[in-house]
Amino acid sequence: MLEKEFKLFHFGLIISVLNFLLFHFPFFGFVVNHVDVDYKSFNGILLIISLVIAMLVANFFVIYLFFYLSRRFSKVLFSLFFLINSIALYFVTTYSVIIDESMISNVFNTKYEEASSFFSIKFLVYILFLGIVPSIFIIKAKLIKPTLKRFSITSLVSLFFLIVLVFANASNWLWIDKNSKTLGGLAMPWSYSVNTSLYFIHEKQRNAKEILLPTAKITDNEKSVVVLVIGESARSENFSLYGYKKDTNPLLSKVDNLHHFKANSCATYTTAGVKCILEHTSSNELYEILPNYLYRNNVEVIWRTTNWGESPVHIKKYETRDYLRPKCEGEDCDYDGVLLSGLKEEIKASNRNKILVILHTSTSHGPTYSKKYPPRFEKFKPVCNSVDLGKCTQTELMNAYDNTIVYTDYILNSIITDLKDLKEYNSTMLFVSDHGESLGEKNLYMHGVPKSLAPKQQYEIPFIVWVSDSNKQLKPANNTILSQNNVFHSVLNFLSIDSPIYDENMNIFKK
C-alpha cells in the first residue's frame, strides 16, 4: 500500500478519516453525554452528524491545503501531529484531562522528574500504534499533486459545505458556544495547536513587565516570622480536620491554636494557583508577588522548594531540593521533609526582625502518590502503585492519596514544633494548597479541568493556620469561604507591614 500513488484528494480523505477514528472518541463521548436534547432525537442526531461531517471536512481542507503547498513540510508536520495526538489521547482517556490553555501551561511548567512518572506500557502502546504507525504511512505515501483548477474547486466546495453545516445548525449554536472550551480541548490536533499559540501569546503579555507595588513600611521592631507552606494537589475533603472519616491528621488534631478555614483555589493548576497565593489580588496581570515585595522592603525572605511553577522569584535565598539535599540527613531527605532541614537554624541566624519563609511542597501530586512519602507513613493499605489510576481500585487510590495527607500532617506539625522553640519570635504557619485533586469521582483524575467545569474536589482546598501567641486572635470564620488572595494581606498584617495596597477585609487576623 505504501508503494501506491495517491491522489491528494484521496490521501486527504484517508488522513482526515484516520484522525477522526483514532483520536475523537472522547470528543463525541462528551457530545453524546452533554447534548441538551436527547441525542436520539432529530435535533440531537443532526448535531452529532453535523459535527462528524464538519470535523472530517475541516480536517480534510487543512490537510489538502498544506500538502498542496508543500508535501515535504506537511509530511513532517502531520506525522508530528499524529505523534502528539497519541500522547494527548493517552492523557485524555487515562486522566480525563482537557487540552485547553491551562493544560498547555501545565505541560510547559512540568519538569522531567514529574513527567516521567506518567510513563507506562499503555503510554508506549498509544505512541506506537496511534502515533508512529500512521506517521510511517504519511512519510512513505507517494502523492499526485492536482492541478490548480482542481485544487481550487475542491477547496471552494469544502468551504461551502462547512458554511452550509454552520447555518443548518443554527438551533445548536448556543450549545456549541456554551461547550466550546471543552470541545476545543478534545479536538485533535487543534486543541494543543491553538492553545499552545494562545499560551505563548498570553505569557508574553503577562511577562512583558512585572508591575511593582507601592513601597511598604515596617511599623514595629518585634521579632516575627511567618512560615507559608504552599501545598500541592491537597484537597480539603481528605483532611480529617475538615470532617474526613479516616484519621489523616493525627498530629495536627492535637495542636493548640490551630484553625482551619473553608477555601477555594483560584484555578485548578499549579502556576495559576501559586500565583494567586502570592498576589494581592486575582488578576491576569503580573503584579509583584509577595516574596519579591517583602524582600524589596527589608524583610528576610527564604524560599525552599521541591516543586516548580511559581512566578519569577527575585530574592537572595532561593533554595531548591538539590541545594538542601547534601546538608540533610535521614529518610525524609528524599521527600518533602528535606525542606525542614536546618530551617530553624537558618531563621535564628537572620539579623532581621521580620522573616517570611515559603515552603513549596510537592507531597500530594499524582499520579505516583505512593512515592511521595516515606514508607513509615503508609498508614492506609493497600495502595495504588500504577500510573494508570483507572486500573487501581478506588480503595487503593484513596489510600495512597490519604497517606500523602498523613505525611503533610507530619510536615506541618514538625514546622509548628520548630516554631514553638523560637520563643523570641511571634510566629505563625499558614498552609494553603495550590489546588485540589480528583480521585476517580465522575471518572476524573488529578487536576487541570477548567474551573468553570471542574468538580469541587479540584478547587476546595485546605487553609490551615497556627499561631504561637494565643493572644493573636483570628477573625471568626462565620462560614466565610476564603480565597488564596487572603494570604498576601494576612502576612502583611502579621509582620506589621503598612502598605497602600493592604486590604483589611482580606486579612484573617484581628488587629
Task: Give me the CATH code for the 217-363+401-504 domain, please.
Answer: 3.40.720.10
* Contact criterion met (CB below 8 Å) for 9 and 145: no
| H helix or E strand, kind and range, residue 466 | strand 460-467
pLDDT of residue 174: 57
Strand-pairing partners, residue 217, are 498
Quick one: pLDDT at residue 178? Answer: 65
Determine the Cα angle at 341 with ends 337 and 343, to 5°.
Answer: 115
Question: Whole-angstrom Cα distance, residue 485 to residue 98?
Answer: 26
In 300-371, the DSSP E strands lie at 300-305, 317-320, 354-360
Provide the pLDDT for residue 281.
93
Rounded Cα distance, 218 and 296, in Å: 12
Alpha carbon of 456 to those of 99, 394, 437: distances in Å? 20, 18, 9
Over residues 3-30, the pLDDT tens digits come to 578 899 999 999 999 999 999 888 888 8
Structure pTM? 0.75
Name the residue among 189, 200, 195 with its Cα closest to residue 87. Answer: 189
85/158 Cα distance (integer angstroms): 24
Q: How far apart are the first and last CA of the chain?
A: 78
Single-letter amino acid, residue 267: A
Q: Which helix (H) or strand (E) holds 402?
A: helix 394-421
The pLDDT of residue 390 is 80
Alpha-carbon span 99 to 233, nearest angstrom: 19
Closest CA to 282 of 430, 498, 502, 484: 484
Angstrom CA distances, 22 to 115, 134, 289, stand at 24, 10, 44
The pLDDT of residue 111: 67
Low-confidence ranges of the chain (pLDDT < 70): 1-3, 36-43, 111-117, 169-175, 177-178, 202, 205-208, 470-471
**pLDDT value, residue 354:** 97
Tell me the CA distances in angstroms from 483 to 226, 281, 505, one per residue in order.
Answer: 18, 10, 12
Closest Cα partner for 311 from 464, 434, 226?
434
* Every domain range in the chain assigned CATH 3.40.720.10: 217-363+401-504
User: Could you report the per-residue pLDDT of 176-192, keeping only the tens digit for each?
Assistant: 766 777 888 888 998 88
DSSP string over 173-188: HHHHHHTHHHHHHHST
Helical H runs in 169-232?
173-178, 180-186, 190-206
